[in-house]
Amino acid sequence: MATLFLILCSILFYVTPYLNFELFYLSWFFFIPILYLIENNRINLIKLGLYFGIGSNLIATYWVSSTISNLTGSNWITSSLLHLAYSTYESIFFILVFVLTSILIKKISSLYGRYLCIIFLYILIEQSFPRIFPYKLGNTQILFNEMAQLISIFGINMISILVLIFNIGLYEILFKRKIKVFYVVISIFMLAFSAGKFLHKSFDSNLDKNNNINIVVVQPVESLKDIKQIQKDIDIKKYNYDITIWPESSLSRVQLKNKEDYIKFKETFSENFTFSSNILMLGTITQNKTGYFNSALLINKNNEIIDVYSKNRLMIFGEYYPMQNIISKIIPIYNEFISLKKGEIKLMKGGENLNIGAIICYEDLFEDNAIKLTQLNSQILINLTNGKWYGDSLATYQHLMLSIPRAIENRRFLIRSTYNGISAIISPTGEIINKISLNEKGYIDSEVTLINKKSFYSKYKSKILLTYHIIFVLLLFSFLKKFRNE
């Protein structure tokens, strides 16, 4: 009973910040019961990983079952079983972490060596493990703004490291009365806090605001009629914005197979829509000679398509459908879905001096796409999303919060236009400047800065990640060699 209580406490400490990011401090305690159970051999570690992984994932992504049901029409039993299967897969991550942590505890006698190996092991597995939704430990701290600034230098992994340091330090203090560890942990946190404040202040003071543009973000709730109505409200202002942004799925489908299709689009679009800006960016499904794509379009004042970006990272079972012959036997409608094609990561050119980094739907959860766009010299990041998939659940809130590291990593304004919510304007230091709440129809506007300078992390990401690997290998060999000699 005590063992199950500790596992439950650990799950709640771990998962609660993903349900309410203002409770970020709870994740500072999640690993303490786990370490106690591992060191005292209180439970089989595979079972521990399964219980923890399945339990935490079922809670954090509770909305998956209803989403599957809404998309496929499957009954609640089928959708719940699929959610359970996905959660079981996610538990493999924790099984690996817990089993390997146990081995390191047994093999390495040095206190600091043992925990350094465990910490770097955790973040390397977290970095490499293939996940549909990348809920990284560091993401829980995104509202701890001073700490979050370190993402621009070291990436989100550094925040995971600091959370683990705090967990391990508290464990040593509570269970082993090692007060010296307390001073080490406090010193590290004070250093991280001070460094974060300095990075924030330094970035703000060096931001060149002479390269500003005015943007307006539209959030509909139900349909294209909402977009038309909101756009009329914007047009009444008679303000000349530089960019108007409509969300993913603004238009149902646009055919772009040849030049005649572009001409036809111009004629049809000008008859049905207006926008009061130099360019309009919107999301739609496009069709060319090779297939269907989830795309972002840039449209100029003459209603001409001037650039197209197609989504590079497609969502499994949502945009492409593997094993159709097998799964369709369980969910018959699955066989009727058409897989989308994968696009290439590229800049969208909104003009001679405007490089836009477009990221569609959940591409903003992954650092690779946004980093590549910054390396290609994007000056701003714009995310187009359709949150209607998730109804009134916390998924849209989680999506917003998990996207914030992209702004800090790249030191770029991140603009999000979403169907249903939550649309937002996020500063390069991770603050939400303005937003539209879930299920609220309307628009927000702001002056934002186009930034050309690359962040440290966006310039040296591959080298920084390699450094994490090198540190772990050196630590491991150093202490294991010492163990063999002893």
User: Average pLDDT of 309-320?
Assistant: 78
Report the chain's mean pLDDT, rounded to a whole number: 89
- pLDDT per position as a tens digit, 36-85: 999 988 889 999 999 999 999 999 999 988 887 777 677 888 888 889 99
Q: Is there a single domain that holds both residue 159 and residue 45?
A: yes
Do 198 and 232 share a structural domain?
Answer: no
| Residues 68 and 143 grouped into a single domain | yes
Number of Cβ within 10 Å of residue 386's Cβ equals: 17
Same domain assignment for residues 50 and 83: yes
Give the DSSP letter string of 248-314: TTSEEEEE-SSHHHHHHHHHHHHHH----EEEEEEEEEEEETTEEEEEEEEEETTS-EEEEEE-SSP
Q: What is the pLDDT of residue 392?
A: 86
Q: Say if residues 277 and 244 touch (Cβ distance below 8 Å).
A: yes
Give the residue-averaged pLDDT of 397-425.
95
Domain that includes residue 70, residue range: 2-205+480-485
In a domain, 337, yes or no: yes
- The whole-angstrom separation of Cα 404 and Cα 424 is 10
Instruction: Report the predicted TM-score, pTM, of the whole model to 2 decimal places.
Output: 0.90
Question: How many beta carbons lie within 10 A of that of residue 189, not counting itself?
Answer: 16
Residue 242 identity (one-letter amino acid): D
Residue 320 above 90 pLDDT?
A: no
Q: Does the pLDDT value for residue 327 go beyond 90?
A: no
Residue 472 lies in a domain: no
- Looking at the predicted structure, is the pLDDT value of residue 336 above 60? no
Range 305-315 average pLDDT: 90
Same domain, 216 and 201: no
Q: Are residues 230 and 371 in the same domain?
A: yes
Domain of 362: which CATH number? Answer: 3.60.110.10
* Same structural domain, 188 and 217: no
186 and 228 housed in the same domain: no
125-144 burial, b at 16+ Cβ within 10 Å, e below that, comes to ebbeeeebbbbbbbbbbbbb
Whether residues 218 and 293 share a domain: the answer is: yes
Is pLDDT above 90 for 314? Answer: no
165-174 pLDDT, tens digit per residue, is 999 999 998 8
Evaluated on CA atoms 15, 20, 24, 29, the torsion sign reads negative
> Is 465 inside any structural domain?
no
Same domain, 136 and 237: no
Query: Which residues in 403-457 belong to E strands, given as ranges?
Result: 414-419, 423-426, 432-436, 442-449
Q: How far apart are CA 27 and CA 312, in angstroms?
A: 32
Pair (71, 117) in one structural domain: yes
**Beta-bridge partners for 316:** 320
Average pLDDT rounded to a whole number, residues 250-254: 89
Band (28; pLDDT cuts 50, 70, 90): very high
* Residue 49 belongs to some domain of the structure: yes
The pLDDT value given to residue 396: 93
Q: Is residue 16 part of a domain?
A: yes
Domains: count for the chain = 2
Residue 459 in domain: no
254 neighbors 284 (Cβ within 8 angstroms): yes
The answer to whether residue 244 sits within a structural domain is: yes
Q: Tell me if 71 is assigned to some domain.
A: yes
pLDDT digits (tens, 9 = 90+) for 423-481: 999 999 999 999 999 999 999 999 999 999 999 999 999 999 999 999 888 888 777 66
Does position 483 have pLDDT exceeding 60, yes or no?
Answer: no
Asked whether residue 88 falls in the same domain as residue 187, the answer is yes
